[in-house]
Amino acid sequence: MGFNVLSLLIWLPVAGAAVVIGLPRRRPELVVPVAFALSVLTLGLAGFLVFDFETANGGFQFIEKTAIAPDLGIDYHLGVDGISLFLVALTAFLFPISILASVNVADRRKEFMAAVLLLEGALIGVFLALDLVLFFVFFEVLLVPMYFLIGLWGGERRLEAALKFFLYTALGSAFLLVGIIFLSAQANDQFGSPTFNYLELLNLDISRSAQYWLFGAFGVAFAIKVPLFPFHTWLPDAHTEAPTAGSVVLAGVLLKMGTYGFLRFNLNLFPEATVQLAGFLAALGVFGIIYGAAVAIVQPDLKRLVAYSSVSHLGFVVLGIFALTSQGVSGGVIQMVNHGLTTGALFLLVGMIYERRHTREIAAYGGLQKAMPWFAGFFLFTAFASAGLPGLNGFVGEFLILLGSYGRYPVLAIIAAFGVLLAAVYLLWAYERVFTGEPDKEENRVLSDLGLREVGILVPLVALVVLLGVYPKPALDRIEPAVERVLDRIEDRTDFEPPLRIDDIAVVPAEDDQ
């Protein structure tokens, strides 16, 4: 390896933030192009990463390691595997789009773009860190730019939403921090030297009761991020009040830190507790699916509707992960990416209409497809993808999750399947109220349709939605070895048996489409 691609992925956006802040105040027109160029460069690096990634390898690749504080066992330690690979790619993909969607931010534009770029670097860091302290640092520090994004450029109730977001997440992190410290103290007892190295901590022998406590400490932090019912109450406020770029990043990537955390840390470090508690968490996930969907149906505010739909979709991911089967977990990983794309697109669409009419009330619209046919088309397409229409990406993830969880939790899987139905209800009903019928309000008749920039923002998203829908094999090929490794580990360490191997019938749907 000639260069440290992982470090570059993290530090290029961070350096970019400094560059943007350093731009002369007299040249405000430079801010967006520079920020955009930097985020596209980061995307290029992520693309290189995806193509240079060894497909059949389930372990960590591109590892970088330097000691920071040897006495304490803290390292600068990065690596990527099939699970984190696509989350990094998704992050790098959504940021240029978010930046392009925010060109109309007039107030303190430099600071806005700098915060967005800092957020990008920290998010990529979360997915790449293999040292628990480093992970925690990225996990916690990204609250700061996000807090400012909501608090400075958000909607009317932004202060309340920003504070709620910060406090909820920080409360979870407090337990996470103590859990991390406790793990390193255990390492000190067992290995004779403290370490925060994830790969070394995997060899710890943790007693069953300690596993429960640690699972709880890590789990609370991640459950708040996901968010799992009943920790979800920060989400609708934060998503709704955040500026469009903030909502896209929140829903698209930030929530995935929770499900990623469960998959990376809880399943691997505390296998016994995982096996015991999997049913409970899967049930919470299913409850979230139905609850989120039911609440989304009755939302009068379009952005809140999309926000609650995230609670529902992330419930699927949790169900898939805690099904502890190959299909379920792989489906969960790919569904994280899918949700990032479709919900990101939905937030972008809501942002575009908000810029025109300055209201998010569904009741204020009606008959929009007359004035904005392109917009209506994109919205309907995204709604279908989000609702899991076969041939689009949402279907692949949800199908795999339901398939993977049916063998272990048939009842939960059946209930969850109703969530797919409810998604169609809230999305299509919203479409009906906003777009169909006669435009009875004068302002809605004269709205301009999407401009070139807006179409340019949406087209890459749509292309990926279709690509992952019809040909997910390249993605699954990279994800599955890493997932198998997690599950093998759980089977080695516990008396857990996979319910019934349905590998033979679970041919990935992509195979059919080839």
Partner 1 sequence: MTEISYLAVGPVAALTLGVVVILLVEVTWKPPTAWLGAIAGVSLLGGFILAVAQWVEASDDPIIRFRGMLALDPFAAFGAVVLTVLGAVALLVAWPLVVEQGRRAAEFIALVLLALAGMILMAAAAHFIMLFLALEVASISLYVLAGFNRHRAESNEASIKYFLLGSFASAVFLYGVALSYAATGSLSLYDTAEFLGETVLLDSAALLAGIGLLIVGLAFKVSAAPFHMWAPDVYQGAASGVSGFMTAGAKVAGFAALARITVTSYGPYISDWAPAVGAIAALSVLVGTMLAIAQSDIKRMLAYSSIAHAGFILTGLVAGIDGVPYVWFYVVTYAFQVLGAFAVVSVVSGPSGAKSPLTDYAGLAQRAPVLAGSLALLMFSMAGIPLTAGFLSKLYVFREAVDAGYLWLAVLGAVASVAGLFFYLRVIVLMYMSPNGEKSPAPTDIRVGDPVRLALTSVAVVTLAFGIVPGPLLDVVTSALPF
Residues within the interface to partner 1 (CB under 8 A):
68-69, 71-72, 133, 136-138, 140-141, 143-144, 147-148, 151-152, 158-159, 162-163, 166-167, 170-171, 173-175, 177-178, 181-182, 184-185, 188, 194
Q: How far is the CB of 70 from partner 1 (least distance, A)?
A: 9
Handedness of CA 504, 505, 507, 513 (dihedral sign): positive
Minimum CB separation of residue 163 from partner 1 in Å reads 6
Burial of 396 from C-beta contacts in 10 A (0-12 / 13-18 / 19+): buried
Q: CB of 184: closest distance to partner 1 in angstroms? A: 7
Q: Give the residue with the Cβ less far from partner 1, 139 or 381.
A: 139
* Least distance from partner 1 to the Cβ atom of residue 295, Å: 27
Task: Provide the 3-class DSSP secondary structure of residue 76.
Answer: strand
Q: Which is nearer to partner 1, 126 or 420 (CB)?
A: 126
Q: How far is the CB of 159 from partner 1 (least distance, A)?
A: 6
d(CA 300, CA 424): 17
- 375 in Cβ contact with 346 (< 8 Å): no
The smaller minimum CB distance to partner 1, of residues 153 and 395, is found at: 153
CB of 221 to partner 1, least distance (A): 11
Cβ proximity to partner 1, 153 vs 260, nearer residue:
153
Cβ distance to partner 1 smaller for residue 121 or 340: 121
The amino acid at residue 392 is L
Cβ neighbors of 483 (< 8 A, separation 6 or more) are 58, 82, 83, 326, 329, 330, 333
Q: Please state, as a whole number, how many other Cβ atoms lie within 10 Å of the Cβ of residue 104.
A: 12
The smaller minimum CB distance to partner 1, of residues 133 and 334, is found at 133
Angle, alpha carbons 168-169-172 (nearest 5°): 95
Which CB atom, from 147 or from 384, has the smaller least distance to partner 1?
147
Whole-angstrom distance, CA of residue 276 vs CA of residue 344: 34
DSSP helix/strand/coil, 450: coil
Cβ 158 to partner 1, closest distance in Å? 8
Q: What is the dihedral of CA 291, 293, 295, 297, to 10 degrees?
A: -150
Q: CA separation (Å) from 114 to 128, 242, 257, 358?
A: 21, 16, 21, 25
**Nearer residue to partner 1 within complex by CB, 71 or 504:** 71
In terms of Cα–Cα distance, which of 86, 76, 70, 185 is closest to 131? 76
Tokens 């070895």 correspond to: 481
> Which amino acid, residue 420?
V
Least Å distance between CB 88 and partner 1? 20
